[in-house]
A and B are shown apart, each in its own frame.
Chain A
Amino acid sequence: MSVPIRMSQAGPPSLALAGMALSSAARWRPGLAPASHSEIFSAGGEAAGAALALSLALDGMRAQGVGPGDPRMILWVQDRAALRLGGRPYRPGLPAELRGRVIHVAAKRPEDALFAMEEGLRCRDLACVIGELTGNPRALGLTASRRLSLAAERYGTPLFLVRLDAARDMSSARMRWQVRSAVSPPPRWNPAAPGTPGWRASLFRARAWQEGEWILHDDGRRLVAGSTPPATPDHGDLVHAAGDGSLASF
């Protein structure tokens, strides 16, 4: 399911103008190399921001040809407010290929979180850095944002910065997303249950891409964009987990 589907040409008039100016720019689609510095705006009362950040990170890793055997860790930085608002990463709930590979940093202040993110970007042994900050802290001005962008470009470690309950302030991020949860498709065998998680993500500012809106979801092997996620069989990932082995031995 390679390509895009479509999205409403939403947005304020100024954005529409910018979109016309960039009409020659290509449309973003999943499966491309990740931007060095992405910002993801989301509400604090849902996990859509972190989930999309993880999916984009995984998508980027797959695009670069590193499979599930990649031993590199990912650094997940949260400041105290984000930790209180959205909770900590929970290992059994992480995507299977990231489960053993998360290093978590609980920073007290936003300044410490920015320091930790920058240190992580400088590290050549990390696959990516995920940051979560709440609101619009004074420490995260345009200068700090630019520092992060430069470090991410210089050392080639992608940064996904999740902004919880934040206003769209000045930033030097290459791609800026606004995301919220999308209603999931009913699973085939239990239509009353929540299905494969999907997110309604709108790209409202990007350097090389047109603005647009997608409904994204991760089907376990790749990131898929579609107007509605397909109904998935309710096999509980058993076949996937058993691999070549017998299901009975599982």
Chain B
Amino acid sequence: MAIWCTRLAMDRWRHSEACSEGEGADARPFALLGETAHGQRIEAVNAAGIAQGVRAGTRLTDARSLCPQLAVALADPAGDLAFLERLAVWARRWGPWSAIDPPDGVLVDVTAIAHLFGGERAMLEEARAIFARRGVGVRLAIAPTSGAAWALAHFGPEQAILDAAEPGAPGPGPSASSEAMVRLAPLPVDALRLEPDVLLLLRRLGLKRIGDLYRIGRDALRRRFRARHAPDADPLLRLDQLLGRVPEPLLPVVAVETPLVQRRLMEPIRHRPLLDQVVRDLAEEMGAVLERRGEGARRLELGLWRVDGEAVIRHLEMATATRDPAHICRLFAARLDDVDAGFGIELVRLRAPWRESNPLAQRGFDAAAEEDGTSLAVCIDRLSVRLGEEAVRRPATRASHLPERAQEWDMPLAADSSQENLDFGKRPLKLLDRPEEIAVLYATPDGVPHRFRWRGGLHEIARVEGPERIAPEWWRERSDARLRDYYRIEDDAGRRYWIYRHGIVGDGRGGPPRWFLQGLCA
């Protein structure tokens, strides 16, 4: 579905002035200005201004000579674009995927969605009514390709629908889209979304309508425009995109079979208990849909569409595939706390974009025992929803000599990819995130210290094992990284630590070596 906001800038201005069409400030001639190198130029004019002969594109001084009482304000193209972005997100109420079509259009993928709204005709009618209520003038069209929808929205009849006879018909056979060819033939070549100079060239060649291009051989067109490679400079490519003969990468292919359930609410809801009820209903319905398919959801996407044109999307990822409605509700409950309902939510939709196979299994005879306690996956889900993904991790080893680099943190339920290291050198039970410097007293700078001070406490070293020398990993680090000599020590009270000397005397990589405490042994 292509949505073309015919007078986007003026509609936004009128909205900011809080007047409806033809009333208040809109009753007098008015124009929005843009700054150009040649002075101020008129970007958009209202109906009263057009009646006085003012046209978009003329200079302000020329327009003032025609219509001296013309009121002006500066246009706001950045605001228009931001509005369009919000509009594109909001327009996803009609389909799961939408794209901005600058400067004033939105494309929505409504493939396999229309039946939820009672057919394409009813969908367009609803969209037209909603836009009229918002005071945005639009032209709408539905077609099998985005190019055709764009062309019909801009140059076709009001609310045109081009039936998808064979939406994905492969091959360049002319019969595949013959109806589209007939319907699109009378449109002007401007409908091909081409650059102005290409359009001018086409007109000079006498090709004014799309139908005129059909009669010219493809070879001739290709030869004439062979130097042009950009899509908007190549009429042949644009024509093929229009008729669906070549894919248009603007629209990615959305997996049509994404499970999707939604509730359109008669009365917009503003309160949390009602929203919880709706989410519960949706989760149950989604659970039924997924169960039919023998799948479970890994990622869920809950969209809330508000009456005042905002959409809130909440994502959820789960450690394993699930379709348990109670579990889904519990997880979403934490995510919905900060939703601003505004003037009310009128449409709620639940999608499962990422699914995994989760076939039905017979419950074991000890099913009653399963009532006790949750499964590990559920536990991990609940922990990571409340504490964050980063908080729940599992240590894994990595190929590195440096102790702090030899351990990395994995997803908790990922397969354990660690290889066990040969543990000739004993390692501490716990490792500080950042080695802490200790003040040491030693007899010789290369030897073992007698005592050290750490966190204000004095430790007399009773037993030592070491050194275990770990050289810097030269393929990763700077050339002046220093080596480390690790010692496993026990102090006079029996406390066991893992300390190291950073560098050796005279290695030419900094001053006298410093000592650090890195680990606490069992």
Q: List the interface of chain A (C-beta within 8 A of B).
A: 45-48, 50-51, 54, 73, 83-84, 86-94, 99-100, 102-108, 112, 115-116, 119-120, 122-126, 154-157, 180-184, 186, 190, 192-195, 197-198, 200, 236-237, 241, 250
When distances are taken between beta carbons in the complex, the residues of chain B under 8 Å from A124 are 370, 372-375
Q: A50-B429, A103-B380 are in contact. Are A91 and B463 (CB under 8 A)?
A: no
Residue of A nearest to B493 (CB): A181
Q: Tell me if B509 counts as interface (CB < 8 A to partner A).
A: no
Top 4 closest A-B pairs, CB basis?
A124-B373, A193-B465, A51-B522, A47-B520
Q: A50-B430, A93-B521 are in contact. Are A194 and B387 (CB under 8 A)?
A: no
Assess the A84–B433 pair: CB atoms within 8 A: yes
Q: A83-B433, A93-B521, A104-B395 are in contact. Are A119 and B493 (CB under 8 A)?
A: no
Q: A73-B376, A104-B409, A107-B387 are in contact. Are A183 and B462 (CB under 8 A)?
A: yes
Assess the B407–A90 pair: CB atoms within 8 A: yes
When distances are taken between beta carbons in the complex, the residues of chain B under 8 Å from A108 are 387, 391
Q: Tell me if B200 counts as interface (CB < 8 A to partner A).
A: no
CB < 8 Å: which of B393, B403, B496 contacts A106? Answer: B393
When distances are taken between beta carbons in the complex, the residues of chain A under 8 Å from B490 are 183-184, 194
Assess the A87–B431 pair: CB atoms within 8 A: yes
When distances are taken between beta carbons in the complex, the residues of chain A under 8 Å from B494 are 180-184, 198, 200
CB < 8 Å: which of A93, A107, A122, A194 contacts B373? Answer: A122
When distances are taken between beta carbons in the complex, the residues of chain A under 8 Å from B416 are 100
Assess the A45–B430 pair: CB atoms within 8 A: no
Assess the B521–A89 pair: CB atoms within 8 A: no
When distances are taken between beta carbons in the complex, the residues of chain A under 8 Å from B403 are 90, 92
Supplied contacts A90-B403, A99-B420, A103-B394, 20 more A-B pairs, CB within 8 Å: A45-B457, A48-B495, A50-B429, A51-B429, A87-B430, A87-B519, A88-B430, A92-B397, A92-B406, A92-B423, A104-B392, A104-B395, A104-B409, A106-B387, A115-B386, A124-B374, A125-B375, A154-B372, A156-B372, A194-B463
Assess the B423–A47 pair: CB atoms within 8 A: no
Q: Tell me if B489 counts as interface (CB < 8 A to partner A).
A: yes
When distances are taken between beta carbons in the complex, the residues of chain A under 8 Å from B370 are 124
Task: Report Cα–Cα, A32/B522, bound state, in Å.
Answer: 22
Closest Cβ of chain B to A122, distance in Å, is 5
Q: Mark B461-494, 1 if CB is under 8 A from A, else 0.
A: 0111100000000000000000000001110111
Assess the B383–A47 pair: CB atoms within 8 A: no
Task: Report Cα–Cα, A145/B264, bound state, in Å.
Answer: 46
CB < 8 Å: which of A90, A99, A183 contacts B428? Answer: A90
Q: List the interface of chain B (C-beta within 8 A of A).
A: 370, 372-376, 378-380, 382-383, 386-387, 390-397, 403, 406-407, 409, 412, 416, 418, 420-424, 426-433, 454-455, 457, 462-465, 488-490, 492-496, 519-522
Assess the A105–B391 pair: CB atoms within 8 A: yes
CB < 8 Å: which of A99, A180, A197, A200 contacts B522? Answer: A197
When distances are taken between beta carbons in the complex, the residues of chain B under 8 Å from A89 are 395, 429-431
Residue of B nearest to A190 (CB): B465
Q: A73-B376, A84-B433, A194-B465 are in contact. Are A112 and B407 (CB under 8 A)?
A: no
Assess the B394–A104 pair: CB atoms within 8 A: yes
Main secondary structure of the interface of B (DSSP, over half): mixed
Q: A87-B431, A92-B423, A124-B375 are in contact. Are A194 and B407 (CB under 8 A)?
A: no
Assess the B387–A105 pair: CB atoms within 8 A: yes
Assess the B374–A90 pair: CB atoms within 8 A: no
Assess the A87–B433 pair: CB atoms within 8 A: yes
Assess the B495–A193 pair: CB atoms within 8 A: no
When distances are taken between beta carbons in the complex, the residues of chain B under 8 Å from A84 are 433
Can you list 8 A-B contacts (CB < 8 A)?
A: A47-B428, A54-B429, A93-B428, A93-B431, A122-B374, A123-B376, A126-B379, A194-B521
Assess the B495–A86 pair: CB atoms within 8 A: no
When distances are taken between beta carbons in the complex, the residues of chain A under 8 Å from B462 are 183
Closest Cβ of chain A to B418, distance in Å, is 7
When distances are taken between beta carbons in the complex, the residues of chain A under 8 Å from B521 are 47, 93, 194, 197
Assess the A92–B427 pair: CB atoms within 8 A: yes
Assess the A107–B397 pair: CB atoms within 8 A: no
CB < 8 Å: which of B374, B430, B493 contacts A86? Answer: B430
Residue of B nearest to A73 (CB): B376
Assess the A193–B488 pair: CB atoms within 8 A: yes
CB < 8 Å: which of A47, A106, A154, A198 contacts B391? Answer: A106
Assess the A103–B496 pair: CB atoms within 8 A: no
Task: Report Cα–Cα, A99/B462, bound state, in Å.
Answer: 29
Closest Cβ of chain A to B88, distance in Å, is 37
Task: Report Cα–Cα, A108/B386, bound state, in Å.
Answer: 11
When distances are taken between beta carbons in the complex, the residues of chain B under 8 Å from A155 are 372-373
Closest Cβ of chain A to B253, distance in Å, is 38
When distances are taken between beta carbons in the complex, the residues of chain B under 8 Å from A186 are 463
When distances are taken between beta carbons in the complex, the residues of chain A under 8 Å from B390 are 106
Residue of A nearest to B413 (CB): A103
CB < 8 Å: which of B379, B409, B432, B433 contacts A122? Answer: B379
Task: Report Cα–Cα, A232/B31, bound state, in Å.
Answer: 93
Assess the B376–A126 pair: CB atoms within 8 A: yes
Closest Cβ of chain B to A101, distance in Å, is 9
Q: A47-B521, A184-B494 are in contact. Are A91 and B379 (CB under 8 A)?
A: no
Closest Cβ of chain B to A179, distance in Å, is 11
Task: Report Cα–Cα, A89/B397, bound state, in Å.
Answer: 12
When distances are taken between beta carbons in the complex, the residues of chain A under 8 Å from B392 are 103-105
When distances are taken between beta carbons in the complex, the residues of chain B under 8 Å from A90 are 395, 403, 407, 427-431, 519
Closest Cβ of chain A to B422, distance in Å, is 8
Assess the A94–B373 pair: CB atoms within 8 A: no
When distances are taken between beta carbons in the complex, the residues of chain A under 8 Å from B393 are 103-104, 106
Assess the A45–B376 pair: CB atoms within 8 A: no
